[in-house]
């Protein structure tokens, strides 16, 4: 009850920020030497994250499946962030549900010969009906987790090299959701079943599974970065409940009424509040050298490993993910 009260009133936690803090309030300034990739930046939390980072001087890469929507988002970001140099915001093609598209995006990004300091894996999808990607992978899992897993893996060397050459710590932010705790059952059994055609499909369970996978990804990647002694960290964030395009497939009177009532009770965050935790973890000095943690309302909620019930799950999912992408790309992943 006390925690709910603190959330509703926006009480500050140990970081000095709380549930009602905005992305502009929590982010550091003067970041002109920083380059960031922000997935899902064509609207909602991702766009706000990109806008605030651009306002702080960060060079922004917007990967998008819909290039028209990305160019429109770029125009808004330039207008609203006082970023007068349009060349510091680059739109590039990326469909996270497609392994081929992820590989092509990374190749195209590397051809730009840019550094990479921040990777914010923000894009998300909630499929109400069972659908498969072009690779035959259940669409929610393919977009929310597997695409980001491969994207991060392929960009990791560039981030490590950037951190080494500049002395600026690289940061990876995985956007998850507290809904990850709703998933129950054997994750490997579920992983083997979810992409089967004509199966009974529970959209909420599929979404929860993808978000649990984001947390497990953070756990294992944090371990690997520590073993490599890389000057790069990874943490995951729960942005809170925000009405964004994630809910676009179920827009209508009932959905709008639910979100309206939630917003009036302050259970629902506005977009600048929803983007705050991502911006805090990506930029704030308080998060320097912090690795493998779970953040909500701009405050450290403890180790991601504690959120996943069993440490071996993270290693197992990583191995399974490598097998999947190796099969789909036709070559083993480094």
In a domain, 27, yes or no: yes
Using the predicted structure, report yes or no on whether residue 7 has a pLDDT greater than 90: no
- Whole-angstrom distance, CA of residue 234 vs CA of residue 220: 10
List the domain range (segments joined by +) for residue 152.
Answer: 1-326
CA 179 distance to own-chain centroid: 14
Catalytic residue set: 201
pLDDT band, residue 84 (cuts 50/70/90): low
Using the predicted structure, report yes or no on whether residue 308 has a pLDDT greater than 80: no
In a domain, 29, yes or no: yes
Please report, for the domain that includes residue 117, its CATH number. 3.40.50.720
- Mean pLDDT along residues 25-40: 91
The full DSSP string for 121-189 is E------SS--B-TTS-BHHHIIIIIHHHHHHHHHHHHHHHHHHHH-PPEEEEEE--GGGGG--S-HHH
- Mean pLDDT along residues 14-34: 90
Using the predicted structure, report yes or no on whether residue 216 has a pLDDT greater than 60: yes
- Mean pLDDT along residues 42-57: 96
pLDDT for 267 equals 62
Name the domain count of the chain.
1
pLDDT for 247 equals 47
C-alpha dist (Å) from residue 127 to 124, 133, 145, 201, 332: 10, 11, 14, 10, 30
Using the predicted structure, report yes or no on whether residue 229 has a pLDDT greater than 60: yes
- Whole-angstrom distance, CA of residue 18 vs CA of residue 7: 7
In a domain, 332, yes or no: no
In a domain, 207, yes or no: yes
In a domain, 183, yes or no: yes
In a domain, 302, yes or no: yes
In a domain, 35, yes or no: yes
Using the predicted structure, report yes or no on whether residue 250 has a pLDDT greater than 50: no
pLDDT for 254 equals 41
Least confident of 25-39, 159-173, 225-239: 25-39
pLDDT for 334 equals 58
pLDDT for 315 equals 94
The 10s digit of each residue's pLDDT in 276-286 is: 999 999 999 99
Using the predicted structure, report yes or no on whether residue 222 has a pLDDT greater than 70: yes
Using the predicted structure, report yes or no on whether residue 299 has a pLDDT greater than 90: yes
DSSP state of 242: B
Rounded to two decimals, what is the model's pTM?
0.90
Using the predicted structure, report yes or no on whether residue 1 has a pLDDT greater than 50: no
pLDDT for 206 equals 95
Using the predicted structure, report yes or no on whether residue 48 has a pLDDT greater than 90: yes
pLDDT band, residue 11 (cuts 50/70/90): low
- Mean pLDDT along residues 176-194: 92
In a domain, 333, yes or no: no
pLDDT band, residue 331 (cuts 50/70/90): low
């Amino acid at each position: 009850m006390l925690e709910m009260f603190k959330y509703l009133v926006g009480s500050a936690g140990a970081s000095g920020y709380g549930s009602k803090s905005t992305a502009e309030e929590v982010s550091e300034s003067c970041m002109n030497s920083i380059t960031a990739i922000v997935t899902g930046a064509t609207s909602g939390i991702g766009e706000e994250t990109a806008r605030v980072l651009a306002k702080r001087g960060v060079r922004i890469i917007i990967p998008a499946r819909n290039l028209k929507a990305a160019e429109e988002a770029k125009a808004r970001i330039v207008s609203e962030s006082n970023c007068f140099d349009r060349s510091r915001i680059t739109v590039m093609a990326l469909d996270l549900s497609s392994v081929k598209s992820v590989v092509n995006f990374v190749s195209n990004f590397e051809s730009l010969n840019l550094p990479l300091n921040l990777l914010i894996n923000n894009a998300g999808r909630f499929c109400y009906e069972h659908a498969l990607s072009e690779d035959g992978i259940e669409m929610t899992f393919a977009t929310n987790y597997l695409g980001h897993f491969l994207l991060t893996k392929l960009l990791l060397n560039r981030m490590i090299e950037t951190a080494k050459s500049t002395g600026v710590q690289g940061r990876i932010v995985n956007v998850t959701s507290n809904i990850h705790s709703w998933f129950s059952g054997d994750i490997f059994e579920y992983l083997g079943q979810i992409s089967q055609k004509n199966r009974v499909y529970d959209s909420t369970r599929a979404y929860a599974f993808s978000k649990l996978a984001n947390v497990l990804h953070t756990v294992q990647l944090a371990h690997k970065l520590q073993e490599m002694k890389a000057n790069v960290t990874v943490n995951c964030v729960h942005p809170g409940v925000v009405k964004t395009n994630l809910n676009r497939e179920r827009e209508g009177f009932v959905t709008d009424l639910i979100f309206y009532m939630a917003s009036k009770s302050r259970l629902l965050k506005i977009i600048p509040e929803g983007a705050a935790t991502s911006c805090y973890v990506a930029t704030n000095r308080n998060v320097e050298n912090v690795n493998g943690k779970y953040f909500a309302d701009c405050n450290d909620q403890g180790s991601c490993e504690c959120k996943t019930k069993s440490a071996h799950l993270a290693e197992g999912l990583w191995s399974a993910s490598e097998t999947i992408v190796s099969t789909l790309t036709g070559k083993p992943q480094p």
